[in-house]
């Protein structure tokens, strides 16, 4: 139950997609002065060392945020504004923290939310893994608006629902479980149905891995169906950095070589109306920066509320 540690995957291509979409969505919602309730259902540490033992074990950030930074540094033209916003936040975090810690760090969703929130907003973070929860508490206590940031050591699919609807009737919820358990897929669908029943106008961002598992294939279809049944609009995007299969001919009896997760997706319920246009420009840039073969690609689809 507590085996998953996001520190092994921090800053990978999935984080690049997730956090690019997250910041673009939050920036839009902040255009109104009314308070926002921000919720992260599977928070992790909040801040990760990319030069630490966990991150170095898999080195996934090398083909994610570090590759994106290198590409942006050598770019001849200005970056797409949506991608630039995300990169500026990561760089700002390192300018602020690395001067004290002398470490290369990556801000996870809790840190990005906390550093982007305003004095009128509230942030609720859920984390079950005991060590990660303690690290999360320490990291959030050092950030801005610490007195508006609440860390909960409890199961988030039920716990997060008690904050819906928020007093201001404005909120953003990020749901990104590890999906190590097959039951996570069903729980996400059930959770979204209940969340929309309680707070139909909230903005929900659901991340999922694009992997050869039936549950992963079915999840975005189910989430879109739930949104339609609730009369809400949705946006669905994926980012793949390479082919998921081993090149060449597989010989009989040959052991299949695992390539790891090479693609992930985001489903946004009640997305900002400008998000599709932003991603139409940002996603090709991410493919060019992170793509490792000719099968690197993105998808983008959306539907307005009926």
Q: Which residue has the tokens 């891995």?
A: 209
Q: Does 119 belong to an annotated binding site?
A: no
For 25, phi then psi, to 5°, come to -70, -45
For 40, phi then psi, to 5°, come to -120, 115
Q: Does 217 belong to an annotated binding site?
A: no
Separation of CA 258 from chain center: 23
3-state secondary structure 230-273: CCCCEEEEEEECCCCCCCCCCCCCCCCCCCCCCEEEEEEECCCC
Q: What residues act catalytically?
A: 176
Q: Does 95 belong to an annotated binding site?
A: no
The partner residues of 65 in beta bridges, in order of sequence, read none
Cβ–Cβ < 8 Å for 46, 129: no
Separation of CA 291 from chain center: 19
Q: Does 6 belong to an annotated binding site?
A: no
Q: Does 156 belong to an annotated binding site?
A: yes
Q: How far apart are CA 81 and CA 242, in angstroms?
A: 25
Q: Does 42 belong to an annotated binding site?
A: yes
Q: Does 294 belong to an annotated binding site?
A: no
Which letter does DSSP use for residue 51 in this model?
A: T
Q: Is 154 helix (H, G, I), strand (E, B) or coil?
A: coil
Q: Is 194 helix (H, G, I), strand (E, B) or coil?
A: helix
Q: How far apart are CA 112 and CA 30, in angstroms?
A: 14
Q: Is 253 left (phi over 0), alpha (psi -120 to 50) or beta?
A: left
Cβ–Cβ < 8 Å for 85, 23: yes
Cβ–Cβ < 8 Å for 230, 196: yes
Q: Please report, in range form, the residues annotated as the binding site.
A: 19, 42, 109, 127, 155-156, 176
Q: Please report, in range form, the residues annotated as the binding site for S-adenosyl-L-methionine.
A: 19, 42, 109, 127, 155-156, 176
């Amino acid at each position: 139950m507590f085996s998953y540690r996001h520190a092994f995957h921090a800053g990978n291509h999935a984080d690049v997609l997730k956090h690019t979409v997250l910041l673009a969505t939050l920036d839009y919602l902040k255009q109104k002065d009314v308070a926002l309730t921000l919720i992260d259902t599977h928070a992790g540490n909040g801040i990760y060392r990319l030069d630490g033992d966990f991150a170095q074990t898999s080195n996934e950030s090398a083909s994610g945020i570090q590759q994106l930074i290198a590409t942006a540094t050598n770019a001849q033209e200005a970056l797409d504004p949506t991608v630039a916003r995300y990169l500026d936040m990561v760089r700002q975090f390192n300018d602020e923290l690395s001067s004290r810690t002398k470490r290369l760090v990556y801000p996870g969703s809790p840190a990005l939310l906390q550093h982007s929130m305003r004095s009128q907003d509230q942030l609720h973070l859920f984390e079950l893994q005991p060590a990660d929860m303690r690290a999360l508490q320490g990291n959030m206590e050092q950030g801005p608006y610490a007195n508006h940031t609440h860390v909960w050591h409890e199961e988030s699919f039920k716990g997060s629902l008690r904050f819906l609807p928020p007093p201001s009737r404005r909120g953003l919820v990020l749901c990104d479980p590890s999906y190590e358990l097959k039951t996570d897929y069903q729980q996400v669908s059930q959770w979204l149905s209940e969340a929309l029943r309680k707070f139909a106008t909230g903005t929900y961002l659901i991340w999922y891995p694009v992997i050869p598992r039936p549950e992963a294939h079915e999840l975005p279809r189910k989430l879109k169906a739930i949104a339609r049944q609730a009369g809400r609009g949705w946006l669905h995007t994926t980012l793949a950095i390479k082919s998921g299969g081993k090149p060449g001919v597989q010989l009989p009896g040959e052991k299949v070589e695992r390539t790891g997760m090479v693609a992930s997706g985001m489903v946004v319920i009640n997305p900002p109306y400008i998000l599709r246009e932003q991603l139409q420009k940002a996603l090709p840039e991410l493919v060019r920066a992170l793509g490792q073969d000719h099968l690197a690609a993105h998808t983008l689809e959306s539907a307005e509320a009926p």
